Amino acid sequence: MHKEIDYDLDESFLKTSQDRDSRKGQTTFVPFSISPNQMESYFGFKPKAIYDLIYTGKLQRGYHYLKIGKKLVIVCDKFIEWMEACDGSKN
């Protein structure tokens, strides 16, 4: 079963990397970096969508993601900033 988590993307979220789940009163920790496969559980993006963003050049290596050996790792704070810039919520 997959648990859906709603994230509030305000400045306090970016600084603390934590989100308050008001329905249960629990704090969910978002790690500094996660793999494309883990993106689905935290942000709802399928791994193929993340790989497409990387290979089309929309996410920049060294800023939005890191490549460690053969493994890709997404930097969560930078990814959130990129999402905000794309939807126009961050000026």
Q: What CATH number should be reported for the domain whose range is 11-87?
A: 1.10.1660
Which pTM was predicted? 0.61
SS3 of the chain: the string is: CCCCCCCCCCHHHHHHCEEEECCCCEEEECCCEECCCCHHHHHCCCHHHHHHHHHCCCCCECCCEEEECCEEEEEHHHHHHHHHHHHCCCC
What residues does each domain of the chain span?
11-87
CA distances from 39 to 25, 44, 51 (A): 23, 6, 11
Q: What is the pLDDT along the chain (91 residues), one digit of tens a residue?
A: 445 544 444 444 444 444 444 445 555 666 888 999 998 888 888 999 999 999 999 999 999 999 999 898 999 999 989 988 888 776 6
| Beta carbons within 8 Å of 85's beta carbon, 6+ residues apart | none
